[in-house]
Structure 1
Amino acid sequence: MKTSPLRRAAVGALALGAVVALASCSSSAATPAGTADSAPPAAGPRVAISYDGGILVLDGETLETLADFESEPFTRLNPAGDGRHVMVTMSEGFQVLDTAAGSPDEPELTDDVFAADAPGHVVRHGDKTILYADGTSDTTIFETADLGGSDGLPETRTVEGVDAHHGVSVLLEDGTFLTTVGNADGRSGIVVTDSDGTEIASSDQCPGVHGEGTAASEAVVFGCEDGALLYTDGQITKLTAPDQPYGRMGNAWVSETSPIVVGDYKNDPDAEGYLLSAVTLIDTAAKTYEVVDLPEGVEYTFRDVVRGPDDLAYILASDGSIHVLDPETGAVTESFPVVEAWESPAEWQDPHPSIVVSGDTAYVTEPAANSVHAVDLTTGEVLATTELDVTPNELAPAAG
């Protein structure tokens, strides 16, 4: 790997602007799919895929490999929100991957890094991208459209955390800021401040708070080990799970045009493995919380649910099919076979089938076959399949 400087966004409490610091760290150059005489890749969608020690960028239509980058052994991939860039969680922070979606450029794992101690969740909402550092609980915010400019990293605003914990923050369009509360001993709730930084609401009634989602009308949901917290119109409402004291929702899948949040659900803290067989349906308008058991054999992990066409939920289950769930009714209306049946991973980081969506197209990994599939969610048709030389793990789409 070649050594090159990393641009890192400096941390400043509620300060506009980023001071670019220089540090020496390992980066890597792309291994292009073609030769030096090859024509630039055509404009179109892309999909980034992590594997042990590397990241691939594929053409989103043909699934041809366009670039192969060296990386750390385990990296997480998050779309940046601009349809082109992906935030890669590296030891130094959030490193910017340019997939070149929608352009004639070649993909590049850039030297631009938003410095973060233990980089965690990436949230995209409105015209902002929000980065959370678990090691400090600091939140870094920037204008999504400014990413990828010729001057390097965009200007940022940083909200300093209080006690470090695995958390997440959300910024609403009127400047309302929501962030989790916790410390090394656990997580307990959220605090909400207005655009001036004045606290307007808080709750400590969310043990193990984890996961968030912003639905229609900027209703925000956070998962708890005994239900969820719902923030709407300046107020926090606690929604209680039917199973007590443990009925955990830890991930939320949302559409900003639907009031219904689809969450995962687990009611046995001692259950082995990571497969789940029920979902949570939260109606943010009616302020209701419902748990729906899935049909026999339909089990999934946190990587296996997306929202797609018509605001429906699409569940890639361990039986190998994508099951279409109507959030309004909780009914599974269709099923599309895509991959072979699979079992729970031993650890959550281990490669296992996962799904992401871009428009009407879902990208599905099949680690047991070192394969990736593109699926039309409106018909269930498999549009393309490719076999890789590596085992795919996480993936992130870039629509272009």
Structure 2
Amino acid sequence: MRSISLHAALLAGLALPGSVLADEVTLYRAFVADQAENTVSVVDLEAGEVIEAFTLEGPARLYGTSSGQTVFAVQGDNDIVQAISTGVVIDDHGDHGDIEISDPSLIDGSVEGDYPVHFVEHHGQIALFFDNEGVAKIIDESGFGTDEPRVVSSSAPHHGVAAAYGDHVLITEPHPEDPSNLPVGINVLDGDDNPIGETHACPGLHGEASSGNLLAIACETGLLLVTDSAEGPQVSHLPYADDLPEGKVSTLLGGVGIQYFLGNFGADRVVVIDPAEESFNLIDLPTRRVHFAVDNVRPQYAYIFTEDGDLHRLNTLSGQFEGKLTLTEPYSMDGHWADPRPRIAVAGDEILVTDPRESTIHRVDAQAFEPAGEIAVPGLPYEIVVAGGSGAVH
């Protein structure tokens, strides 16, 4: 077990005269949800095997937090959100970090409601949006399972989203004629849930992501950009460039280390958005996109998996592809949007790609961009979230 190896390392440190009682440790765990079953498998990437499996109320979409301490399991069809403690805590001390490692565990308690879909974290505040109620339930990451969430209502049930900024909340405005359509804007609410100013127009709102101090929300007309201030969230509009073809972004990722956003632009294109330069770099794909992810260690790179079974490495600074690997048999994007298809996550110096059809995770060496093995995971491994890093054990 991991605790034994850490203990041995500490004893080795004790044997050295004048040594500091600390050992540098790197640990990554992958949390993998089954596409059809109500299970989440925990994979120790050093051991290359499943070390734990948790039973949930239903199949889940997984979301990690910026702290890396919690994985949230949003189970829309079962009207519940549960959470898993990753067992990895990294405490940043500026010049170094300390790491504490324990067994992963299913956190007692849950947040329930009618059809939870969207999850947004901002500085440890979790906003969960329940479509069939039109409400956001907001809770601190550290208080999940024990604290009662703050409930913030919109004007009608709809496919919406919310984000918490301290006492302020951003929440979507439903379509005035047909709430089954996508929202038309964002409202900023104060600590008493009263609106501040007018609705910020965002027709066809769908997709949000954070990069650095910016939250971006995708609209038919461009992006809403949200920054924090002493007066609360400040919202501005970045219109699409005039030379872009007809289309819109509906899924967004935020760059880590470099401030940019990566979005889809139709089925077989992506766009790299530089908010500082107000630029949109449209990039054609060889076939339809299945999934994409940004690299939080090598910030210039993002990875795109296409339906022909290939993983592509995109340099987001140049807009050029710098590598391609064939990892799986083709996965067509025809069919239901939630059919089992590969998903990507980055774990330090590895890229992980789930392969539901083969009950496998493909490992890719991120430096060399070449295959580095496989890990067997029972069932249909689908959604994947990684927690971990490096730190000193005292």
CA contact (8 A) 2:200 2:235 kept: no
Work out whether 1:69 is the aligned partner of 2:54: yes
Letter in 2 for 1:83: G
SS of structure 1 residue aligned to 2:289 = coil
1:95 alignment partner in structure 2: 82
Bigger mean CA deviation after superposition, 277-286 or 239-248: 239-248
One-letter amino acid of the counterpart of residue 259, structure 2: P
1:177 aligns with 2:146: no
> Per chain length, whose mean CA-contact separation is higher, i.e. which structure has more relative contact order (CA < 8 Å, sep 6+)?
2
2:314 partner amino acid: L
Aligned to 1:281: 272
Partner in structure 1 of residue 40 of structure 2: 55
TM-score where L is the length of structure 1: 0.75
- Distance (whole Å) between structure 2 residues aligned to residue 65 and residue 199 of structure 1: 47
Deviation of 1:96 after TM superposition, in Å, equals 1.6
d(CA) in 2 for partners of 1:201 and 1:285?
Answer: 25
Match of residue 293, structure 1, among 283, 286, 297: 283
Equivalent of residue 118 in structure 2, options 111, 121, 125: 121
Cα pair 2:219 2:249 within 8 Å, conserved: yes
Deviation at 1:264, TM superposition (A): 0.7
1:70–1:345 Cα change, 3 Å = farther
Residue 373 of structure 2 is aligned to residue 373 of structure 1? no
Q: Is the 8 A contact 1:299 1:317 kept in 2?
A: yes
Q: Is the 8 A contact 1:226 1:245 kept in 2?
A: no
What corresponds to 1:350 in structure 2? Answer: 339
Output the amino acid matched with 1:143: D
Distance 1:313 1:361 in 2: 13
SS at match of 1:368: helix
Structure 2 vs 1, CA of residues 63 and 133 (structure 1 numbering), >3 Å: closer, same or farther?
A: farther
Distance 1:41 1:379, change over 3 A: farther
Q: Are the counterparts in 1 of residues 238 and 278 from structure 2 also a CA contact under 8 Å?
A: no
Question: CA–CA distance in 1 between the matches of 2:313 and 2:50?
Answer: 29
Q: Does 1:140 align with 2:137?
A: yes
Alignment of 1:215-254 (within 5 A): 215-216=211-212, 218-232=213-227, 234-240=234-240, 247-254=247-254
SS of residue in 1 equivalent to 2:357:
helix
Q: What secondary structure does 2:299 align onto?
A: helix
| Rounded Cα–Cα distance in structure 2 between residues aligned with 1:201 and 1:89 | 32
Q: Deviations over 1:158-207 (max 9, x none)?
A: 323332211212234x6553222115332211122455655445556433
For 2:314 and 2:265, how far apart are their aligned partners in 1? Answer: 15
Per-residue CA deviations over 1:127-146 (Å, capped at 9, x if unaligned) read 32222222223223333344
Change over 3 Å in CA distance of 1:39–1:185 after alignment to 2:
closer
1:214 maps to: 210
SS at 2:261's partner residue? strand
Cα drift, residue 210 of structure 1: 0.8
What are the ranges of 5 or more consecutive residues in structure 2 without an aligned counterpart? 7-26, 90-99, 229-233, 390-394
Q: What is the alpha-carbon distance in structure 2 between the residues aligned to residue 85 and residue 293 of structure 1?
A: 34
Q: CA deviation at 1:209?
A: 0.7
Cα distance, 1:107 vs structure 2: 3.4
Q: Provide the secondary structure at the position in 2 that maps to 1:323.
A: strand
Q: Does 1:188 align with 2:209?
A: no
Q: 2:156 aligns with which of 159, 163, 173?
A: 163
Residue in 2 aligned with 1:317? Answer: 306
User: Is there any run of 5+ residues in structure 1 with no aligned partner, and where?
Assistant: 1-37, 267-275
- Mapped contact 1:117–1:136 kept (Cα < 8 A): yes
Map 1:146-157 to 2 at 5 A: 146-147=143-144, 152-154=145-147, 156-157=149-150
Describe the SS at the equivalent of 2:129. strand
Q: CA deviation at 1:351?
A: 0.6
- Normalised to the residue count of structure 2, the TM-score between the two structures is 0.76
**Corresponding letter in the other structure for 1:277:** D
- Report the secondary structure of 1:399's partner residue: strand
Deviation for aligned residue 1:75:
1.9
Root-mean-square deviation over aligned CA pairs: 3.1
Match of 2:64 among 59, 63, 79: 79
Question: Which amino acid counterpart does residue 63 of structure 2 have in structure 1?
Answer: N
Match of 1:304 in 2: 292
Quote the Cα distance in structure 1 between the aligned partners of 2:308 and 2:206. 27
- Distance between the aligned counterparts of 1:46 and 1:117, measured in 2? 31
Partner Cα separation in structure 2 for residue 42 and residue 255 of structure 1: 35
- Cα distance, 1:225 vs. partner? 3.5
Kept in 2, the 8 Å contact 1:226–1:246? The answer is no
Separation in 2 of the partners of 1:287 and 1:193?
27
Distance between the aligned counterparts of 1:76 and 1:265, measured in 2? Answer: 23
